[in-house]
């Protein structure tokens, strides 16, 4: 039977403060994303018992793992933690590594080996039971680690960047493997990741951490439609511009840019967020006069290749434009060039910025 999670976690480490509340129903999968240093791994380590929170309460199912008076040791939490390093015992075979967690819980030796062999088969490693980690590839080692984590039947599974150290092909295979086995076992799971693909494939909920706080949360489709932060927008491949709706329906961005045809249905004076994909932007031959709607000028400060051409950022601007190769080569755009960009109103989605980022 699977268990849910209720965690109110407060951790103080010097100038860094983590204050996060997480509630997961049994069997759900939460993806946690955020910039480096936002507190993602700290949250997992607190839930796993590797660090003791300064305040708060952690419950898995009907068991209290941590509060002001209680602190259950890591070995007794029935919480599985899998990171980007498989951390296999080098002197043990694949079968013995997978058996280890069960033996630690008091499962009889023969039964533990039988379950371990079954799980190695599930992860596609039949025939490699006697191999030591040194003779296995990185992907195979991670599969052993997954088998070990799931064979131990944890009440809660914590995945900390489990695909980060793998090549693209192996990461895709391991991601698919995890999705299948999480669905089969129904174990409540938190996966910390930098890759939105992990959230798409594995999770039914997403949480964005920033500076130790929840900056955005909800279903992935909701966050893709209406991201609350620039970080969330960048994850899903969108530009985010904030502004205010004027009485005539125009939106004046915080940086002075003007957008028309996008905020007509919003209340004048309302704070508004505008999102649009980098590919919606196009080069204009004429420089933009100040206040020209949906059109602005600047100096190219950054360029990098993209799948279809080049990604460009203007000096002092967080908006990214992705231009086809023929367009930017034909225009002779280089670093330091003065250019103008425009976007059609039909490519801009506007929504009120009142949605709480910590709902």
The pLDDT of residue 330: 76
Task: Tally the domains of the chain.
Answer: 2
Lowest mean pLDDT among 12-26, 46-60, 169-183: 169-183
Average pLDDT, the chain: 90
Lowest mean pLDDT among 156-170, 196-210, 303-317, 345-359: 345-359
Mean pLDDT of 301-325: 91
Task: Name the residue with higher pLDDT: 190 or 307.
Answer: 190
Mean pLDDT of 78-101: 92
How large is the C-alpha radius of gyration of the chain? Answer: 25
| CATH label of the domain that carries residue 53 | 3.40.50.300
Q: Kindly state whether residues 142 and 272 are assigned to the same domain.
A: no
Instruction: Answer whether residue 90 is part of any domain.
Output: yes
Statement: residue 51 has pLDDT above 90: yes
Name which of 88, 87, 66, 50 is nearest 5 in CA terms: 66
Taking the C-alpha atoms of residue 64 and residue 78, their distance in angstroms, rounded to an integer, is: 12
Taking the C-alpha atoms of residue 319 and residue 239, their distance in angstroms, rounded to an integer, is: 6
Taking the C-alpha atoms of residue 38 and residue 15, their distance in angstroms, rounded to an integer, is: 12
pLDDT band at residue 342 under the 50/70/90 scheme: very high
Q: Kindly state whether residues 17 and 65 are assigned to the same domain.
A: yes
Q: Kindly state whether residues 22 and 168 are assigned to the same domain.
A: yes
pLDDT band at residue 238 under the 50/70/90 scheme: very high
For residue 86, the 8-state DSSP code is: -
pLDDT band at residue 1 under the 50/70/90 scheme: low
Mean pLDDT of 279-295: 85
Q: Are 177 and 143 in contact (CB under 8 A)?
A: yes
Q: Kindly state whether residues 171 and 24 are assigned to the same domain.
A: yes
Statement: residue 356 has pLDDT above 60: no
Statement: residue 273 has pLDDT above 90: yes
Q: Kindly state whether residues 91 and 176 are assigned to the same domain.
A: yes
Would you say the C-alpha torsion 279, 283, 288, 293 has a positive or negative sign?
Answer: negative
Taking the C-alpha atoms of residue 73 and residue 104, their distance in angstroms, rounded to an integer, is: 13
Q: Are 354 and 225 in contact (CB under 8 A)?
A: no
Task: Name the residue with higher pLDDT: 264 or 209.
Answer: 209
Instruction: Answer whether residue 294 is part of any domain.
Output: yes
DSSP E strands in the chain: the ranges are 5-13, 16-24, 29-33, 55-60, 63-66, 79-83, 156-160, 188-192, 205-210, 213-218, 239-245, 251-253, 258-259, 271-276, 282-284, 295-305, 309-314, 320-324, 338-342, 349-352
> What residues make up the domain containing 27?
5-225
Taking the C-alpha atoms of residue 35 and residue 40, their distance in angstroms, rounded to an integer, is: 9
Instruction: Answer whether residue 233 is part of any domain.
Output: no
- Rounded percentage of the chain residues whose pLDDT exceeds 70: 98
Instruction: Answer whether residue 268 is part of any domain.
Output: yes
Q: Kindly state whether residues 79 and 203 are assigned to the same domain.
A: yes
Q: Kindly state whether residues 247 and 150 are assigned to the same domain.
A: no
Q: Kindly state whether residues 167 and 26 are assigned to the same domain.
A: yes
The pLDDT of residue 354: 55
The pLDDT of residue 358: 39
The pLDDT of residue 284: 87
> In the structure encoding, which two tokens stand for residue 323, read together?
């231009």
Taking the C-alpha atoms of residue 81 and residue 8, their distance in angstroms, rounded to an integer, is: 19
Instruction: Answer whether residue 217 is part of any domain.
Output: yes
Q: Kindly state whether residues 150 and 54 are assigned to the same domain.
A: yes
Instruction: Answer whether residue 340 is part of any domain.
Output: yes
Q: Kindly state whether residues 158 and 249 are assigned to the same domain.
A: no
Q: Are 54 and 10 in contact (CB under 8 A)?
A: yes
Q: Kindly state whether residues 192 and 251 are assigned to the same domain.
A: no
Mean pLDDT of 142-152: 91
Q: Kindly state whether residues 77 and 100 are assigned to the same domain.
A: yes
């Amino acid at each position: 039977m699977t268990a849910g999670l209720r965690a109110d976690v407060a951790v103080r480490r010097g100038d860094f403060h983590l204050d996060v509340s997480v509630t997961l129903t049994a069997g759900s999968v939460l993806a946690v994303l955020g910039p480096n240093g936002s507190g993602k791994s700290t949250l997992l380590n607190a839930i796993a018992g590797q660090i003791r929170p300064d305040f708060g309460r952690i419950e898995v199912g009907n068991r209290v793992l941590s509060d002001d008076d209680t602190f259950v040791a890591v070995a007794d939490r029935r919480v599985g933690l899998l990171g980007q390093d498989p951390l296999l015992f080098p002197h043990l075979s694949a079968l013995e590594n997978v058996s280890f967690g069960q033996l630690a819980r008091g499962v009889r030796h023969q039964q533990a080996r039988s379950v371990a062999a079954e799980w190695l088969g599930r992860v596609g490693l039949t025939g490699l039971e006697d191999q030591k980690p040194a003779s296995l590839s990185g992907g195979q080692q991670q599969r052993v680690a997954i088998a070990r984590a799931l064979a131990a039947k944890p009440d809660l599974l914590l995945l900390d960047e489990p695909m980060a150290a793998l090549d693209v092909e192996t990461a895709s295979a391991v991601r698919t493997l995890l999705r299948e086995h999480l669905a089969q076992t129904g174990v409540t799971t938190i996966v910390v990741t930098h890759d939105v693909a992990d959230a798409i494939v594995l999770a039914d909920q997403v949480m964005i951490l920033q500076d130790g706080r929840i900056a955005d949360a909800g279903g992935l489709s909701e966050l893709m439609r209406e991201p609350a932060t620039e970080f969330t927008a960048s994850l899903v491949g969108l530009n985010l511009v904030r502004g205010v709706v004027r009485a005539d329906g125009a939106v004046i961005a915080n940086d002075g840019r003007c957008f028309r045809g996008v905020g007509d249905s919003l209340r004048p004076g309302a704070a508004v967020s505008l999102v649009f994909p980098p590919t919606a932007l196009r080069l204009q031959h004429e420089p933009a006069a100040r206040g020209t709607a949906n059109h602005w000028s600047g100096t190219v400060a950054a360029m990098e290749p993209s799948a279809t051409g080049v990604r460009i950022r203007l000096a002092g601007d967080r908006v990214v434009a992705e231009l086809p190769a023929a367009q930017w080569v034909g225009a002779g755009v280089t670093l330091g060039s003065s250019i103008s960009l425009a976007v059609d109103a039909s490519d801009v989605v506007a929504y009120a910025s009142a949605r709480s980022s910590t709902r």
